[in-house]
Structure 1
C-alpha cells in the first residue's frame, strides 16, 4: 500500500461519514456499504466506503463529549 493511502477504520472503531458529517462506530461492511452506529447508540446508517475515514482527534473528542453531555442531562 502506498504511504499516502489511508486505511478505513475497522469494526468497533470510530469513523466519520464525510457525506453526512456524522461520526459513528463501524459495525461491519455488507453489500459494498459500511454500516455505522451512533456512539451513544441508535439506528445504524450506511455509507459508501470511499466516504468513510478516521475522525480527527478533535472530531472524536467532540463526539464523545456530546454523548456524555446528553447522558448527564438524562441522568445516565
Structure 2
C-alpha cells in the first residue's frame, strides 16, 4: 500500500496475515487493533493492503467463535 489507509479501515498485515482496524498513523508505521479488540500492533505501511469483504467476515467469525468458547471477554 503506498498511501496511508484511513483511520477505521480494515487492512491485512501481509507479514502476519492478520486482519486489523487502523487506529492511527505514526511515521512509516500504522497502528492496528485486531477485530473485536485486543493487543494492538504496529505494521509498516508497505506491508498493508485493504481487507476484502471475505477477510473481514472471516475475522468477525473467528472473533465470535472465540467469544462463544469463553476465550475472549
Work out the number of aligned pairs and report it. 72
- 1:8/1:52 contact within 8 Å kept: no
Unaligned runs of 5+ in 2: none
Separation of aligned partners in 2, 1:60 and 1:43 = 18
| Aligned residue number for residue 51 of structure 2 | 55
How big is the alpha-carbon RMSD for the aligned residues of Structure 1 and Structure 2? 2.2
Unaligned runs of 5+ in 1: none
| Segments of 4+ moved more than 6 angstroms | none
Structure with greater strand percent: 2
Question: Which residues in structure 2 correspond to 1:9-48 (within 5 Å)?
Answer: 9-48=5-44
| TM-score (structure 1 length as normaliser) | 0.80
Which is higher, the Rg of structure 1 or of structure 2? 1
